[in-house]
Amino acid sequence: MVAGFGLSAAATHAAQAPSPTAAGGASTSSATPADDQAASELKEHHRHHHHGGVTKFIAMSLDTLGTDDSKRPQVEKLQSDLHTQMAPAREAEKSLQLVLADGMTAGAVDAGKVDAAIARLTTAADAAHGASLDTLNKLHAILSPPERAALVDKVQAHWEVWRQVNQEELPDGRERGGQLAELTEEAKLTPNQVTKISAALHTAMAGLSGKFDPKKGEAHVHAFSTAFAGDSFDAKAVTSNANGHLASRGATRMALFYETVTPLLTPEQRTKIAAGLREHAAYQPAPSAK
Amino acid sequence: MNRSLVTILTGVVVVSCLAAAPARAGINIQIFPPALFRATTTPVYYEGHAAYWYGSRWHYRDARGGWQTYNQEPRYLRDYRAQHEPQRHYYGRDSEHRH
């Protein structure tokens, strides 16, 4: 279950507006999902788009940073630059999604083509880190300290969501908001299909958990966050690079999911799911910094 | 009992305990904006912080990264909220840019 409310206990204080009350303590996730449409769509996005790792989290964070109007054109330009630097990885990801869509339509996914596409995606995502260093330095220079802090918080939020949907979420789980539940709704799965697919995913994904080390992602996010929040920043000093690791993990899990469910769907269902994959393949980010 | 029902019941018990115990101890439960919300919502900058309207309160992170909540809504934020719709970003397939 993905990201619930942050909960923390705090001593009761007399209201003294506008001074803030001290709540203290960091938020923790709980069992209640923030299940609105924007949240649901973000989860689906992070299940299907892995072409930049932490660099992508940074670019996405600019979608909702809320910079003032005077610097918005500059921020949009830098966001566009980040997308350009991730473009080779995005093309590799597009190839992978089209291979999966073709396989879904045909009734069987070509594992060799999938592996080759994931390898290209991993290499390209890894390279996006080095390609983005100058852009990140420019971004730091034009943002105010509160905007930098907000950006860091958003990067950490994207990392948390990505980790939950690509690592922590049970692939065979039927919880509301989970990937199987989404597939059930989109393909109108029968209860019998849900049972078979859940069992098949449980078996197929069993060997995947040991192949991902979240500490690498954590190290990259932490190194970026610590450095970017400071008054001076040199992106070259952020030597952690988990972009390829995250891309490989996310893409592998995505591919394994569709490879596993393909033979258990009807032709009509496969056509519908393949269309959804082609829509993801058509994704082309554009500057949207607000 | 299936797994979904167990999950739901467990959540109910946990939330009940979280809510009841602090109340007996004379403390409040503060609800802060979760990652899914912060990643899709544009904040409002006030007093040097990015503030989020969530759960009918304004929340922000302090310099140490802990969450703080305004007990009473500051006039600036109240006026802002009255004049602006919440800005959410949608990443759905229908919302993405395509070429």
Please judge whether A4 and B34 are an interchain contact, meaning their C-beta atoms are less than 8 angstroms apart. yes
Query: What is the percent of chain A where pLDDT is above 70?
Result: 86
Chain B residue with minimal CA distance to A44? Answer: B92
Please judge whether B66 and A26 are an interchain contact, meaning their C-beta atoms are less than 8 angstroms apart. yes
Q: What is the ipTM of this complex?
A: 0.86
The reported pTM is 0.84
Domain boundaries, chain B: 1-29, 31-94
Burial of A120-135, coded b for 16+ CB within 10 Å and e otherwise, reads bbbebbbbbbebbbeb
* Calpha distance A22→B84 (Å, rounded): 27
- Interface probe for A, chosen from B53, B72, B73, B91 (most Cβ of A below 10 Å), is B91
* Calpha distance A63→A154 (Å, rounded): 10
Using a CB-CB cut-off of 8 Å, the residues of chain B touching A42 are 36, 39-40, 91
In sequence order, what DSSP letters do the residues of A31-62 get, joined into one string? S----SHHHHHHHHHHHH--SSHHHHHHHHHG
Q: Closest approach of chain B CAs to the CA of A7, in angstroms?
A: 5
The pLDDT tens digits of the residues spanning A149-165 come to: 999 999 999 999 999 99
Q: Closest approach of chain A CAs to the CA of B82, in angstroms?
A: 17
Could you tell me if residue A9 is inside a domain?
no
Residue A263, φ and ψ in degrees, nearest 5: -70, -5
In sequence order, what DSSP letters do the residues of A90-101 get, joined into one string? HHHHHHHHHHHH
Q: Which of A15-29, A107-121, A149-163, A222-236 has the lowest mean pLDDT?
A: A15-29
DSSP state letter for A262: G
**Mean pLDDT score across all residues of chain A:** 87
Cα–Cα nearest to A42, from A60, A59, A28, A27: A60
Q: Closest approach of chain A CAs to the CA of B99, in angstroms?
A: 6
Which one of A41, A283, A290 has the shortest CB-CB distance to B98?
A283
SS3 label, residue A257: helix
* Calpha distance A163→A43 (Å, rounded): 10
Q: Which two tokens stand for residue A214?
A: 């979240």
Domain encompassing residue A92: 37-281
Total number of domains in chain A: 1
* Calpha distance B12→B86 (Å, rounded): 30
Could you tell me if residue A290 is inside a domain?
no
Q: Closest approach of chain B CAs to the CA of A110, in angstroms?
A: 25
* Calpha distance A72→A64 (Å, rounded): 11
Question: In this complex, is the C-beta atom of B18 within 8 Å of any C-beta atom belonging to chain A?
Answer: yes
The pLDDT tens digits of the residues spanning A202-236 come to: 999 987 766 788 999 999 999 999 999 999 999 99
Residue A43, φ and ψ in degrees, nearest 5: -60, -45
Could you tell me if residue A78 is inside a domain?
yes
Using a CB-CB cut-off of 8 Å, the residues of chain B touching A67 are none
Question: In this complex, is the C-beta atom of B17 within 8 Å of any C-beta atom belonging to chain A?
Answer: no
Contact yes or no for B91/A44 (Cβ under 8 A):
yes
Q: Which residues of chain B have pLDDT under 70?
A: 1-28, 30, 94-99
Q: Which two tokens stand for residue A67?
A: 């910079």
